[in-house]
Amino acid sequence: MSVPFLYALVGIGLFCLGLHALIVHDHLLRKILAINVMGSGVFLVLVALARRGGDSPPDPVPHAMVITGIVVAISATALALSLMLKVKAATGRAELADKDGG
Amino acid sequence: MDVLFSEIPWGPVLILLPLAGGIACFLFPASAKPLGLLTVALVGLAVVGLGWQLLGHGVYHHAVGGWGAPLGIDLAADGLSLLMLAMTALVGFGVSLYATGYFKPADSVRFWPLWLLLLGALNALFLSGDLFNLYVTLELVGLAAVALTALQGGRDALTGAMRYLLATLLGSLLYLLGVALLYHGFGTVDLALLSERVMPSPVAWAALGLMSAGLILKTALFPLHFWLPPAHASAPAPVSAVLSALVVKASFYILLRLWLAIFADISEGVAALFGLLGAGAVLWGSLQALRQTRVKLLVAYSTVAQIGYLFLVYPLASGMGVTAWSAMAYLAFSHALAKAAMFLAAGNLMYFGGHDRIADLDRVVQRLPLTAGAFALAGVSIMGLPPSGGFNGKWLLLQAALTQGRWDIVGIILLGGLLAAGYIFKVLGNTFTQAPKTHEPISVPARMQWAAMLLAAGAILVGFLASPFLALVGVGDPFNVGGLRP
């Protein structure tokens, strides 16, 4: 198994861990962190698979994608955090109420 | 005139105009309303210009900054893109007109920049031709939509927006992982290049699964629709209209493009699965809509049902390509107009009576005839009664199903129409009578009523324009069924 492939597998692992955490945890901060872990997993896959074996230099396009992706992730996280604070202020809990909408 | 229209690069104009307008609205909040309306009207003109260009010269291409794919970002438009852009411009104009009367000054200041940002993101999405650009625009659409949902605050709106945000981020990440796999497997994110290179392989199948799951979640196809009703029902009326009419169509459009360019040839049985989920959506969404006691929730569940129809097309497309895809174009377009009209009408009802409980609607027909008329006309298109855009769509869909002997799909289409009639008459029936608890009416500004009426009339009118409509959608042969599938 090559090293880039190992990194890609770790990326998939992070993605799955994040997905699991997103589903099982109730607290919104944990959900937001879980989304971020998933995002890091995808970025790791992108960067790892950019090296196509041998001595050839890595493909720069996925790196550019990751940089753009990080910008998107930061804005999404900022929006999510401020929304979480608003939910906390309105309902007293940083959790989503169950189906009936609380 | 012709020279003028064909020289201007309409693609970048369609993206930069709303972005500039949004920034201007943010910088000059005092004149946000006229600035916003002006921008939306200009965007409509730009769509007309792009349409002119498409009719004259065929498919539109623009290499941003002169770089060109694969290094730069390419904008591209064919008949399908034009259809989505026109839909966005029409609904956008109706909603903008409505919003000038709906929002209090404090909310209005926050509405216009976000709405114009959303408009720019939608236009950019419909003009994108590569997978990664689609991801970025999809995220822009999602973030702006969530912010708009939470605009007025309140418990329901905030928790609805939060649930929406988590769902939409999860969907985008699933999609992005699919993009990473496709890039690794085939070395490009350009849709046209991918369609030449893609081969049935584990990488392609994994990407198909991940991207379909993410986009279905964002499109709110049954059973992944859980986030839609609370978000769409608790948002302010103009925002609900935009969310239901346009935002769910954005992720749907990406899925359609992926399907046409890449996945149609390598997916065994996925089309059947889409059809099954679509049928489930039609039945479940309609039944849930029948059970609702509030107008906005009813309309939101109706969206869940109507999205189902769009997915019924997939299993029919392999045999009856052109008819099936034309049916989808018609259904998507007329649903956008009709559903926006319904949400605006529902907003009028709330404005008028201070609530949207169906049982307590009090003599609306007598006192708010335009709004009741708009709701009824939009209902005609949603039910699929002739003459309306919804009817044409369902007729083409029925034709495709009958020719292939798919009686199960025929049954679902007819049953869905019947259930739709049930939930629409449930609302309409209560608008004629006096409620047990009467109330004094609050007068609704005329332009809010006319905005709903205009959109509903558009949904009816498009039913009369079948041949120009289909000719316009066919520019550039987006469903390229002629060559690939004899």
How close A1 gets to chain B, by Cα (Å)?
17
B476 pLDDT higher than 80: no
- For testing contact with chain B, the best of A61, A66, A88, A93 (most B CBs within 10 A): A61
User: B61 pairs with which residues across the strands?
Assistant: B76
pLDDT (average), residues B442-450: 87
The yes/no answer to whether this complex scores an ipTM above 0.90 is: yes
Domain boundaries, chain B: 283-486
B358 contact A CB<8A: no
Task: Write down the pLDDT at residue A101.
Answer: 38
B213 contact A CB<8A: no
Closest CB to B159 among A45, A79, A96 = A96
* Chain B residues within 8 A of A75 when measuring between CB atoms: 143
Residue position matching structure tokens 């990407």: B207
**Does A100 reside within a domain?**
no
**Does A22 reside within a domain?**
yes
**Does A97 reside within a domain?**
no
Q: What is the pLDDT of residues B138-179, one digit of tens each?
A: 999 999 999 999 998 888 899 999 999 999 999 999 999 999
**Does A86 reside within a domain?**
yes
A63 to chain B: nearest residue by CA?
A: B180
What is the rounded average pLDDT for all residues in chain A?
Answer: 87
Element (H, E) at B35: helix B32-57
A-B interface: how many C-beta pairs under 8 angstroms? 86
pLDDT bracket for residue B484 (50, 70, 90) = very low
A100 pLDDT higher than 70: no
pLDDT bracket for residue B482 (50, 70, 90) = very low
What CATH number does the domain containing A17 carry? Answer: 1.10.287.3510
Closest CB to A101 among B147, B181, B230 = B230
Instruction: Decide if A87 contacts B162 (C-beta within 8 A).
Output: yes
DSSP state of B292: -
The verdict on a CB contact (< 8 Å) between B184 and A49 is yes
Of the two residues B475 and B287, the one the predictor is more confident about is: B287
* Chain A residues within 8 A of B148 when measuring between CB atoms: none
pLDDT (average), residues B291-311: 93
**Does A21 reside within a domain?**
yes
For chain A, the domain total comes to: 1
A42 to chain B: nearest residue by CA?
A: B177
* Alpha-carbon gap, residue B124 to B115, rounded angstroms: 14
Closest CB to B173 among A39, A86, A91 = A39
pLDDT (average), residues B426-439: 83
**Which ranges of A1-102 does DSSP label H, i.e. alpha helix?**
3-24, 28-48, 60-91
Instruction: Decide if B6 contacts B53 (C-beta within 8 A).
Output: yes
B206 contact A CB<8A: no
Closest CB to A87 among B147, B162, B176 = B162
pLDDT (average), residues B176-203: 88
Highest averaged pLDDT of the listed ranges B275-289, B346-360, B396-410, B424-438: B275-289
* Alpha-carbon gap, residue B244 to B232, rounded angstroms: 7
* Chain A residues within 8 A of B139 when measuring between CB atoms: 72, 76
Closest CB to B176 among A19, A42, A83 = A42
Instruction: Decide if B478 contacts B80 (C-beta within 8 A).
Output: yes
pLDDT (average), residues A17-26: 93
* Chain B residues within 8 A of A65 when measuring between CB atoms: 132, 179, 183
The verdict on a CB contact (< 8 Å) between A15 and B153 is no
Q: What is the pLDDT of residues B371-395, one digit of tens each?
A: 999 999 999 999 988 889 989 999 9
Domain span at A55: 3-91
A37 pLDDT higher than 90: yes
**Which ranges of B318-404 does DSSP label H, i.e. alpha helix?**
321-353, 364-367, 369-383, 389-403
B133 to chain A: nearest residue by CA?
A: A65
B residues 15..34 contacting A (CB < 8 A): none
